[in-house]
Structure 1
Amino acid sequence: MDKQNSSFRWVIFASVIFAYLIMASQRTAPGLITDQLMNDFNVTATTIGLLASIQFFVYTSLQIPMGILVDRYGPNFFLITGAFLTGIGTITYSLSTHEVVLFLARILTGVGDATIWVSLVLILSQWFNAKEFSRLIGVAGMTGSLGFLLATVPFSAFVDSLGWRNSFLSVGVLLCMIGILLYFTLVKKPNQTFLKKQEAQNERTLDLLRRIFSSRQAWALFMCHFGIVGGYIGFIGSWAVPYGMDMYGMSRIDASQLIMISLVGALIGAPLIGWVSSRLEKIKLPYVLFHIIILLCWSTFLLFKGQPPYFLLIILFFTIGFGFGSNSLTFSAVRLSFPVKESGLVSGFANTGGFLSAVLLPSIFGKVLDLFQFSSDNIGYGYFFGFITPVLFSIIGVIGVILLKENWKKSGDL
């Protein structure tokens, strides 16, 4: 089959994007039921923070290894297996009777989730020519934010209607069905291999890893992504809904609307910031600007002792989401700073920085809340001191983007 001229490539695109949409929604969906988990399992805020972090920890730790494995064995096996693992993990989560089972379920989900992005990129590169790929990878990136958006008001209403257990059970079954769909669209129908093996290139991979870990530019990109991703994904995925309910007396659906506002900001910001960067033919200038804006936003929560006026709260959530859209500039800088043969590993390294901060923030935030006993008298102080964490993370991001160099290679050398 001539993949790049086949009309079937659009079926491939639709099925892979749909899988990414549903899998991405499960990164933050558990944050909607934080209070219910604390009540049902009688656990502390620190435990909930660790539970929110574990999926991101697994995802983060597998990014570079997954890139190497997908290159060697092909993306079909890993994407299909990942969909099933995410589904089984989500079903297990819904049936959990003990907090240990909750952790095991999120670990399974994290392993499955770790397969999606690198597999998706390679699949699209195989089925679409370079011009189509450059457009569709942007659509794929926005799909992740749409997945987060799905896990706000729509999923919150689903939880209120069916209960959290039935809601997660339904999504888990859907993900397993998606795994079957992917098998037929990626393997069975186009008569493609399920698992292929290429010659290992261990020496080359080790050399690239050594070069990455000794590169100032790679570490600057790591810090950029660390500073801009963790505050947004880490807070949105764990404490944003409880924050709205505790500090502003919102219902769960109303609090989830805060997340939706932030996600709308991200959906608008990502393509707009990319367009501005392209028009200016600069990456560092807009990236510095948005890193500083995000730092100021998180600092504003401290200025108002954790409870800014409601109208300002809306502006802050939207602006943080909008600024998060600039994280795509990390990978634009990777593409322009490193040869193509190294860009995959460097992208994985930078992405590791972003999701490492997403792992750390929920746990640290939960620990701070526990220090103030999570009572109505002290909860305001707990959130106030909790917001110090995203402020510190943002400072690391600002340092990283300042260290970023713009003396890129010519496009012909990449």
Structure 2
Amino acid sequence: MAAVSPFQAPAPSRVAATVWGAGLAAYIVATTGRTSLGVAGLQAVERFDISASVLSLFVVVQLGVYAAAQVPVGIVLDRVGSRKVIFTGALILAAGQLMLGLVDTLPLALVARVLVGVGDATAFVSVLRLVPAWFPSQRVPLLTQMTGIIGQTGQIISAVPFLALLLGAGWTTAFASLAALGVFVALLVLAVVRDHPARPSRPARRSESVQPVGTGAEVPAAPVAAEPTRVPISAVVREPGTWLGFFTHFVCLFPTNTFLLLWGVPFLTAGQGVSTAGASSLLTLAALAGVVTGPVTGYLQGRHPLRRSWLVLGAVVATIVVWASVLVPTTPRPVWQLALLVVVLTVSATASNIGFDFARSFVPAARLGTATGLVNVGGFVASLVSIFLVGSVLDVVRPDGAYTLADFRLAMSSQVLLWAVGLAGLLVCRRATRRRMAEGGVVVPPVREVLERLRRPRRRHG
């Protein structure tokens, strides 16, 4: 079996699902907090008397704090466990939402968003740490994908009930309600979540290696101690599998975040001539596509763990090709081509979660939180840089803000710089990871050998 968290024992599936569900509820509320200001943009401009460009500062603050908090949160997570981190984070997020609902000046609103960012930063990595502690290793890749997908339903809460409350009852009531929801999930986590199942009666030995289905080779699992051991952070930093996860998240997440968090709607409306309702429909399609692509990706990475990097490379290449097909022509693209773009961007986002699976496979369980946080930094740092690059190009070519398709074609093309960096890092780290695996007796066979083995039975039967 694969590596598991310390003290893992077989857990009843109903209990495991309940623990995961409570943590997932906290992540959904965190996602709601992250996206709530996005649907309240017009009201925020009026309340704080700011321009649209200043409003974008809220996005930068949110992502910046989220990314900066990942490694510190991961270190704390390894020390105190998921339950305490999620509980504390939910209360911090609730305090930020309440503060945002009460203040009416920009500096205090930014402080409130910092609190929301810190609270948000605790949820995802903490829930991911619960999954291998409570579920069999073969289910972890799929549940990792499902955690990300289900967590994004917080966007629906922001877009529907929260927006309705905002328009009907006003700013303060709407954000105070989110604060109350945060307190509720904090209490739920305190009551339900436990960091791991009951401790076994005898110490666990070193974990067995993973036997991937259909690969004919074994992947060494991270060692599991009978008692919590002090694993230095340097062990995470020196592990090439950590950086393989980092660059996986880096290269797969930034194009999706750049599109969904800020520049997608302007690109579709001002650049491609799509109506606001049409742009909203395309973004909805992206959310629905994740319901399909996430489980499929999770199934494939669980069934073929030696070929996970090929899933990543395939998603990156597909995204680059489809973006090129949209940006090279000088005329607006048909709706079907734009729909294909948002679906491929969703595939790229789901592939980014494979980075967390790399961390789980190669990093000792005692430092899984730190490794997960470091992997999560990759995608959000790249997203910040990408959002900044696109905005900088637009400012240079069209300072008055009257953007055209030609402006967006040039600005969106700046993403090629991040693809180049991300792919280079991914390939270098993959080579280093495979070299480390070979030292442990696991050699990844070339693809041509795998294809040859698949053809042999056909030849014999022919």
The answer, yes or no, to whether TM exceeds 0.5 is yes
Question: Which residue is 1:361 aligned to?
Answer: 386
Q: Summarize deviations over 1:241-266 as a string: whole Å, max 9, x none.
A: 44445443634x55333222112223
Q: Summarize deviations over 1:195-222 as a string: whole Å, max 9, x none.
A: xxx9994xx424325525xx4x544432
Matching of residue 316 in structure 1 with residue 344 in structure 2? no
Question: Which residue is 2:318 aligned to?
Answer: 293
Counterpart Cα distance in 2 of 1:413 and 1:4: 32
Counterpart Cα distance in 1 of 2:336 and 2:30: 32
Q: Summarize deviations over 1:32-87 as a string: whole Å, max 9, x none.
A: 34455446545455433332022222221222221221221233222111111112
Q: Summarize deviations over 1:351-370 as a string: whole Å, max 9, x none.
A: 21111122333344444444
Question: Which residue is 1:174 aligned to?
Answer: 181
Matching of residue 396 in structure 1 with residue 421 in structure 2? yes
Question: Which residue is 2:294 aligned to?
Answer: 270
Matching of residue 233 in structure 1 with residue 257 in structure 2? yes
Give 1:208's match in structure 2, choosing from 221, 235, 238. 235
Counterpart Cα distance in 2 of 1:156 and 1:383: 29
Counterpart Cα distance in 2 of 1:46 and 1:364: 15
Aligned partner letter, 1:143:
I
In the TM superposition, 1:2-401 aligns within 5 A as 4-5=11-12, 9-34=16-41, 36-38=43-45, 41-44=48-51, 46-126=53-133, 136-152=143-159, 166-186=173-193, 201=230, 204-212=231-239, 215=240, 218-247=242-271, 248=273, 250-251=275-276, 254-280=278-304, 281-304=306-329, 307-340=332-365, 343-371=368-396, 372-376=398-402, 378=403, 380-401=405-426
Counterpart Cα distance in 2 of 1:240 and 1:329: 24
Determine if contact 1:35/1:242 at 8 Å carries over to the other structure: no
Deviation of the 1:163 alpha carbon: 5.8
Counterpart Cα distance in 1 of 2:175 and 2:57: 19
**CA RMSD after TM alignment:** 3.7
CA 1:396 to 1:132, structure 2 compared with 1: closer, same or farther past 3 Å? closer
Aligned partner letter, 2:320:
L
CA 1:130 to 1:218, structure 2 compared with 1: closer, same or farther past 3 Å? closer
Determine if contact 1:258/1:314 at 8 Å carries over to the other structure: yes
Determine if contact 1:3/1:126 at 8 Å carries over to the other structure: no
Counterpart Cα distance in 2 of 1:154 and 1:413: 54
Counterpart Cα distance in 2 of 1:58 and 1:82: 13
Tell me, what secondary structure is at the counterpart of 1:308? coil
TM-score normalised by the chain length of structure 1: 0.80
Counterpart Cα distance in 2 of 1:323 and 1:46: 28
Determine if contact 2:142/2:299 at 8 Å carries over to the other structure: no
Determine if contact 2:78/2:366 at 8 Å carries over to the other structure: no
CA 1:340 to 1:119, structure 2 compared with 1: closer, same or farther past 3 Å? closer
Q: Summarize deviations over 1:93-144 as a string: whole Å, max 9, x none.
A: 3344222223212110111111112322344555556567666444323222
Counterpart Cα distance in 1 of 2:50 and 2:408: 18
Determine if contact 2:254/2:379 at 8 Å carries over to the other structure: yes
CA 1:182 to 1:350, structure 2 compared with 1: closer, same or farther past 3 Å? closer
Deviation of the 1:296 alpha carbon: 2.3
CA 1:77 to 1:99, structure 2 compared with 1: closer, same or farther past 3 Å? same
CA 1:357 to 1:123, structure 2 compared with 1: closer, same or farther past 3 Å? same
Give the % identical residues: 23
CA 1:158 to 1:60, structure 2 compared with 1: closer, same or farther past 3 Å? same
What is the number of equivalent residue pairs in this alignment? 398
Deviation of the 1:294 alpha carbon: 1.2
CA 1:236 to 1:26, structure 2 compared with 1: closer, same or farther past 3 Å? farther
Deviation of the 1:8 alpha carbon: 5.1
Determine if contact 1:76/1:186 at 8 Å carries over to the other structure: yes
CA 1:136 to 1:218, structure 2 compared with 1: closer, same or farther past 3 Å? closer
CA 1:25 to 1:392, structure 2 compared with 1: closer, same or farther past 3 Å? farther
CA 1:8 to 1:271, structure 2 compared with 1: closer, same or farther past 3 Å? closer
Deviation of the 1:290 alpha carbon: 0.9
Question: Which residue is 1:195 aligned to?
Answer: none
Larger Rg: 2
Determine if contact 1:23/1:147 at 8 Å carries over to the other structure: yes
Determine if contact 1:32/1:241 at 8 Å carries over to the other structure: no
Counterpart Cα distance in 2 of 1:69 and 1:287: 29
Counterpart Cα distance in 2 of 1:244 and 1:157: 25
Counterpart Cα distance in 2 of 1:242 and 1:254: 12
Aligned partner letter, 1:409:
M
Counterpart Cα distance in 2 of 1:285 and 1:199: 34
Aligned partner letter, 1:391:
V
CA 1:144 to 1:65, structure 2 compared with 1: closer, same or farther past 3 Å? same
TM-score normalised by the chain length of structure 2: 0.73
Q: Which has the higher helix share?
A: 1
